Amino acid sequence: MDELLYLDTAATTPVRREVLETMWPYLTGDFGNPSSHHQLGERAAHAVQAARATIAEQLGCRPSEIVFTSGGTEADNLAIKGIVLGSPRGRHVVTTVVEHEAVRESADHLRRLHGFEVTELPVDGDGLVPPEALGAALRPDTTLVSIQHANNEIGTVQPIRELAALAREAGVPFHTDAVQSADALDVGLEVLGVDALSIAGHKLGAPKGIGALAVRGALPLEPLLHGGGQERGRRSGTENVAGVVGLATALALAALERPQTVRVVSARDTIIDGVLARVPGAFLTGSRAQRLPNHASFCFPGTSGEAVLLELEARGIVCSSGSACAAGSDEPSPVLLALGIAPEVAQTAVRFTLPADVTPAQASEVVDRVVAAVSAVGGLATR
């Protein structure tokens, strides 16, 4: 087999060595419960407080505005259900047709069990939400707007600051799912102009099972989990001390490395340009200009996306057809359908999400292997 290249960082990332090293003491000697009033517990509580301060600094908020969760899904659920049920000014929620399932299913829960009306905004062919569509959807009874920062399937980055400003003018709280963008883009309540923001550790080089919600302190937040009153009563349950420490380390490292994204952007563009030039009929999904720096996603009409993935893995490339959360589904991606792509073409989608240390030589090699794989599957006369 050729050299193995892992190009599925949108699904998950390996735990960074620096992250693991900062976590290790809290998995071994300093294993205390941060709610315990003894030496071990106090050391754990201090570690949580220090990590909370680090994450708050990175996300542009106060430490008291950080709520630790089990991951991005819980953070999205807490934001949407918690803000809406904490202080509903009406029974209307606005989101989009291209949100992650955690957002869409949370909104649907409010519709089914609490009688809310949910408006899903359309997107254009690049996956972008037209600001005028949001402006037209806002009503006096709108309680929350939730629009993702960047899409995990197509890489499109939304103009969140502009969209959030429209909601602010109408007095409506705005939440963004920044799970897919927090590693590569500047995110935070002030940077994006939002009221709540979700992140997940395993997209940043921290372990699975830890995430956070940054939410402005002025917003009432109804908890989803009830119990001992941890996290200022907003999320009961013993804190994952090692995970919290790891998340803080990973987020700080990501911020330090963001100025170096020019290399991964160059690799991404090499892949995009090479594939489009050499595979007849292939087209990019999502916006070319407003795109995550490490994200290249295509449809290959005349092939099977799953067959292309198998061929690529046989050639040493690990990638995906889209959201890992929807893996195993036989249905075409709702995100791709929302872009106006035909169902049979949507099922030919393949996504490459690059690690930060990808090299130009590897990017060129990816193009060669993609061309070979698509040719083998589709019998296409590649260039």
Active site residues: 325
Rounded distance, CA 51 to CA 198, Å? Answer: 16
From residue 333, how far is each of 269, 328, 339, 341 by CA, in Å? Answer: 24, 11, 10, 10
Query: Token digits for 240?
Result: 């994952």
User: Judging by beta carbons within 10 Å of its beta carbon (0-12, 13-18, 19+), is residue 364 exposed, middle or buried?
Assistant: middle
Rounded distance, CA 19 to CA 15, Å? Answer: 7
Contacts of 172 (CB under 8 A, 6+ apart): 94, 138, 142, 143, 144, 145
Nearest to 173, CA basis, from 211, 108, 217, 111: 217
The b-or-e profile of 184-198 (16+ CB within 10 A means b, else e) is bbebbbeebbbbbbb
Rounded distance, CA 52 to CA 67, Å? Answer: 9
Rounded distance, CA 17 to CA 381, Å? Answer: 44
E strand or H helix that includes residue 66 = strand 66-69
Tally of CB atoms within 10 A around 308: 23
